[in-house]
Amino acid sequence: MIAQKFEYTAPKSLDEALHLLASGAKPLAGGMSLIPMMKLRLAAPEHLVDLRTIKDLNYIREAGGQLHIGATASHYEIESSALLRQKCPLLTETAAAIGDVQVRNMGTIGGSVAHADPAADYPAALQALEAKFVLNGAKSERTVSAADFFVDAFTTTLEPGEILREVIVPIDDARTGTSYQKMVQPASGFAIVGVAVRVRQNARKVSFARIGVTGLSNHAYRATAAEKALEGKTPSANDIQNAAALVAQGVDANSDLHASADYRKHLAAVHAARAIKSAISRIT
């Protein structure tokens, strides 16, 4: 398992990194996907720019009524953040469900989101949270919504030379409940399917529902039909089942060694129902 020869730079500042990336280098964060691909020689970047040495990419903070998470915040840092646990528990719950301890210590939110593995956990939560991603190039900065960011398997709207610098998520009030439910692929720890739910109730009526689904198709998406089926209702067990049944509707489901398309669709509905129930039960 020996990678091809490559150059490696560990810049101290974001500007320096963006300058190198503009000339064709590839960014390295936790290395949880890139390094194995390089060892198998499925990827052979000539130049790696390590983002972990840039101090001001690693933060989790509240500002302007929103939560800002730097690209190199590790899954463990997110999972154990007191601020996030209080103000965005969906993200800590999702981070805690990723892979195993070693992966959570090394992997970063920016790396995971930018890699856009169709079975990654974060994208489901970030879709449900309607997260925004700040993307920086050497001479540019733009903000893209999660809904627009994920294009296809391993494909995003990131342009060559751009990095995902920051993830922005909202702070919900106490009438909001969230839950992430996942079926684990036992070898990789990725999601066979994962469903993130965020619901708000007003006088027991669902005033707002957001459902993100990962693992089922080529990229994570929001199950808007299921959301609409919940909104305006004081959902009975039946209503929840019916809404959950809509999450996989019309989706061209993935099929592989670990789960057929039919089974994945079925699991998506099961986990959606479980996540909706759990999210509602968490509303204080």
Binding site for another protein (CB under 8 A): 1-2, 4-5, 36, 40-41, 100, 183, 185-188, 190, 257-260, 263, 266-267, 270
Least distance CB 10 / another protein (angstroms): 20
Least distance CB 224 / another protein (angstroms): 24
Instruction: Give 67 or 267: the residue with its C-beta nearer to another protein.
Output: 267
Beta bridge partners of 89: none
Contacts of 54 (CB under 8 A, 6+ apart): 11, 12, 13, 14, 17, 72
Instruction: Give 72 or 254: the residue with its C-beta nearer to another protein.
Output: 254
Instruction: Give 100 or 173: the residue with its C-beta nearer to another protein.
Output: 100
Least distance CB 251 / another protein (angstroms): 18
Instruction: Give 102 or 143: the residue with its C-beta nearer to another protein.
Output: 102
End-to-end CA distance of the chain: 51
Instruction: Give 4 or 155: the residue with its C-beta nearer to another protein.
Output: 4
DSSP 24: T
The torsion defined by the Cα of 107, 109, 115 and 121, in degrees rounded to 10, comes to 90
- The alpha-helical segments, DSSP class H, found in the chain are 14-22, 34-39, 75-79, 82-87, 89-96, 101-106, 109-115, 122-128, 146-149, 224-230, 237-245, 261-281
Asked if 28 and 9 touch (Cβ cutoff 8 Å), the reply is no
Least distance CB 135 / another protein (angstroms): 28
Least distance CB 6 / another protein (angstroms): 11
Pairing label, strands 26-28, 47-50: parallel
Least distance CB 183 / another protein (angstroms): 6
Q: Is 223 left (phi over 0), alpha (psi -120 to 50) or beta?
A: beta
Instruction: Give 29 or 267: the residue with its C-beta nearer to another protein.
Output: 267
